[in-house]
Amino acid sequence: MTTSRPAAGGGRWVDVDPDRLTRWVEGFRERHGAYAQRPTYDGLLLAAFDGATAELYPPPGAPLADDLADFVEAARSPRQLGLLLARKAAVAIGVAEGAKLVTSKVDSSYVQSRTAAGGWSQQRFARRRDNQAKAAAKDAADLAVRLLLPVTAGLAALVCGGDRRTVDTILTDPRLAPLLPLRAERLLDVADPRHAVLVDAVAAARAVSILVRDPES
């Protein structure tokens, strides 16, 4: 898996499967020539002599490394990850061991999106919808308690995806406090949570994120 997207401020983000990282770096060398490497406070910088740079950030749960060989080894090392994907009233929760999803559950709850003609007043509608959203978040938290809390001690990281506000609301449940220190900064951009989306999210959660900047012309 290798994906690319524009980066704010210039350059582009490339997400690379850990098993393909060595080949990607070889391609970087082929395109830009020899490079120097140095660790940064949150990753590893490759600086080619033609001016191109690649900033490598380890996958969630992987340790920092001082050189490329150790970085690749750490990124490829199997880890147990928790996954929490949520959008509106849909949630998908799972546990991955290495590249394999070993536990999963998908759930959805009804949250009214609009009023019918001649229906609720705006205030009554907003109040009802808010109550439905709170109930959906409670159901999602119950699911996280069942699937994630029992394995918290073995998790290298909790990777979330979907709508940040919905995810944040779910994680305000006091029962999920042990998961908060494990939450990765990475927020996966996913479609409405379904089992297939959860399976794809495992690869996205394990990927090495690389900020690539080409030489200035």
pLDDT of residue 8: 87
- Nearest 5°: phi and psi at 53? -135, 155
The pLDDT tens digits of the residues spanning 104-155 come to 999 976 444 554 444 555 665 445 555 555 667 899 999 999 999 999 999 9
**pTM as predicted:** 0.86
Which CATH homologous superfamily contains domain 80-206?
eRF1 domain 2 (3.30.420.60)
Q: Which residue has the tokens 């090392």?
A: 77
The candidate with the shortest Cα–Cα distance to 85, out of 128, 147, 135, 134, is: 147
For the beta carbon of residue 111, count every other beta carbon within 10 angstroms: 18
Domain extent listing, the chain: 2-77+207-213, 80-206
The pLDDT tens digits of the residues spanning 17-32 come to 999 999 999 999 999 9
The candidate with the shortest Cα–Cα distance to 113, out of 101, 128, 123, is: 128
CB proximity list for 204: less than 8 A, separation 6 or greater? 1, 15, 161, 188, 190
- Angle between the N-to-C axes of helices 122-147 and 164-171, in degrees from 0 to 180, rounded to the nearest 10: 60
The pLDDT tens digits of the residues spanning 74-116 come to 999 999 999 999 988 799 999 999 999 999 999 976 444 554 4
Torsion, Cα 198 112 123 169, to 10 degrees, reads: -20
Q: Is residue 32 exposed (0-12), middle (13-18) or buried (19+ Cβ within 10 Å)?
A: buried
Structure token pair of residue 83: 């996954």
